[in-house]
Chains A and B, each alone.
Chain A
Amino acid sequence: MLSRRSLIIHLSTTALVGAVAVRAQPAAATDKTAKIGINLPFTGADAHDAELIKDGAMLAIDEANAQGGVAGYKIEVLQLDDGTATAGQYDPAQAATNARKMVSDKEVVAAIGPQMSGSGKAMSPILSQGDLATITPSSTNPDITDPKFAGQYRPKGKAIYFRTVTTDAFQGPNMANFYADTLKVNSVYVLDDSGAYGVGISDTFQAQAEKRGIKVLGRDQLNPREADYTTTLTKIKSLNPDALYYGGVAQAGVKVVKQSYDIIPKVLKGGGDGCYGAEILRGASFPAAEGWYATIAAPNVLENPEAAPTIERFVKKYGLQPENYSITAYDAALVILDAIKRVATSGKEVTRGAVRDAIQTAHVKTLQGEVTFDDNGDVQNRVISVFRIVKDDKYPLDDVLHQYKYIGVAPQSS
């Protein structure tokens, strides 16, 4: 007689057995495959951006596979999610676990990601221990590749955290230079969104602004989960700065854009790469978004005519517009594919150590120009591009390519 109790026992046994069985399945090992790990926050507030970044990387990988792979190696992808529902966004603990997963999987020779620097801090030591190189298309916190913290983030010494994007060590200060030189700003109020990225970039912006003689009238932190920023904006209004700088991502950024349009319409407004993207256009929309400046930590690729065919292929394959970090992800994938090719054609075994060394010595022509890395893993082409939102009625209002007008390169600090 099947009592309810025994039913429960049966079900749980089956579940347990099933779980163990699935785990115990050996990975089908075909010869001549190389795996690339992709670790991005597919859960939570940044999921949309994560998808676009993944799409950029997959475009390169799928195209390579369609042509028979790289030097005879078929490229497989191990996709991992470092976002958790509990955190509502990226979760450093999950990122650490994912790093271990990639290191444990012997077939993984390189990785793309993470998207967020908070994850990078947790992952870097583990990747270094496992000699597994990763190229991030968007993580801009400078600490991770700073030689000062090398003992913490690359205990084995060699560079492991490569970037196809430059860091906030440049993004913030170069924008401050732009504010001083081009916009001729005399006073500024700085806001951040209390996140790891936002605080970092606002700090570097503020330090440089002060050095350039711009008066920083105040600095405050916004809570991205709050809806109402009128208090801060009213306070800013009463201080009457020439300009506002917002460091942070779109979750708070959309509200800053919307509400500052109401309260401080005449003030010049700008921000970092969190202010660049479809999220801002869709969420804040016009007229609020009109006139906002934004930077990206990479050269402007989307308008480069050489990039047009790639962009077309992207749009055709995914039905979505790429963002600039889709392109840096595409470039990251190109670098890895090139590294694998060079190792394979030199006759050496395609191991992660060899791939890491090949990445270190890369000279790859990508959409953002030629990519080379310094000894820390940072990309050597340190260009910060400045954009301004200018409404173009001929195109859909959330079309990033056409609503963000390229202004130029932000002045380097001397």
Chain B
Amino acid sequence: MSDYGVLLQQVVNGLSLGAMYALLALGFTLVYGILELINFAHFNVFMVSSFVGMWALEFLGISGQSHVLTGLALAGTLAFAFAVTMIAAGVLGVAIERLSLRPLRGVRGTAAMITTIGVSYILFNVILLTVGAGSENYPNPLPVVRWQLGEVTLELKELLIWGVAVALMVALHFFVSRTRLGKAMRATAQDAEAARMMGVDVDRVIVTAFFLGSALAGAAALIFGLYYNYTSFIIGYTAGLRAFTAAVLGGIGSIPGAMVGGLLIGLIETLGGQLIAVRWTDVIIFSILVLVLVFVPTGLLGRSAPTKS
């Protein structure tokens, strides 16, 4: 492989990684935009959802990567798996909001964020103590198809990631900008008090935000499993940290920011790994984040600083 070829391949890798981070960051930023709350539990909702997706596929009789389906059967299976995973994730998110965050609405300071750390620990340890610490081989009905474009190898699963990520982002954008509920969400994000006075059911908006955000995490989780053929109790940790960084880099609360941030982090990861070394990836990513925040304290595409401080 030529130098140019390997760089191009790393760009392709980076865009796939980035799409996954973007999806995860999107759900996280949605909640933040409305509540100005850092929801640490988001990333372990992601992890739990990947197990749900795995069980859904196993329920359909698929195990390992040797049960390959095509055509309508594949589409139907994937649709089922996505539906189950996303709904389960959404329900889990709403449950977390209801049980642990609603009572804290209006409490200033870090109480709500600390609660999400607690919930995150609970989810993490429930899986660790029940399913165990092992790596799970993910059931995957996708056929392995590769295309060779010059020196770059492209796989079907990469098209899957990009396709689903783009579709979901477009759908989210449409929802937020065109529908009534979406408009209500934007209004609440800017000024909850005023929105309430204009007749917006703020409770419903918040529940919707949690449901949607968690559902996006669920989609990301299923994609993760299908892409890596793997899941385990630990996947929320690093993916979460990177997605969190992506959201902040792009400006927390900004939907386009999450997308941009995600792609950027993905590219930094792969190009940094290629040109420097993989063991320095985290240091590179965080250094870039700190630099960006020093000069642009609200992130690349962020709005004005959070008002609650």
Contacts and interface: CB of A to CB of B under 8 A. Distances in A.
A contacts B directly (C-beta below 8 A): yes
B22 to A, nearest CB: 14
Contact of B239 (A224, A227, A255): A227
A194 B282 CA distance: 14
B135 A255 contact: yes
B278 A234 contact: no
Contact of B134 (A194, A223, A234, A282): A282
Nearest to A252: B135
Contacts, number: 102
Contact of A227 (B134, B155, B235): B235
A63 interface: no
Contacts of B3: 238
Interface residues of A, number: 38
Which of A44, A48, A231, A282 gathers most chain B CB within 10 Å?
Answer: A231
B5 interface: yes
A47 interface: yes
A284 B279 CA distance: 23
Interface stretch (B33-41, B200-208, B226-234): B226-234
B116 interface: no
Given A282-B137, A283-B134, A231 B230 contact: no
Q: For chain B, what secondary structure do more than half of its interface residues adopt (helix, strand, loop), or is it mixed?
A: helix
Contacts of B282: 223
Given A225-B234, A258-B228, A220 B134 contact: no
Contacts of B237: 225
B278 A250 contact: no
Given A231-B13, A231-B273, A231-B278, A283 B230 contact: yes
Contacts of A283: 134-137, 230
Contacts of B273: 231-232, 235
Given A231-B274, A234-B270, A282-B134, 9 more contacts: A48-B133, A85-B128, A221-B279, A227-B224, A227-B228, A231-B270, A234-B13, A235-B6, A250-B135
Interface of B: 1, 3, 5-6, 9-10, 13, 17, 64-65, 125, 128, 132-137, 155, 224, 228-230, 232, 234-235, 237-239, 269-270, 273-274, 277-279, 281-282
9 contacts: A46-B133, A194-B279, A220-B279, A223-B238, A227-B228, A231-B13, A231-B278, A237-B6, A279-B134
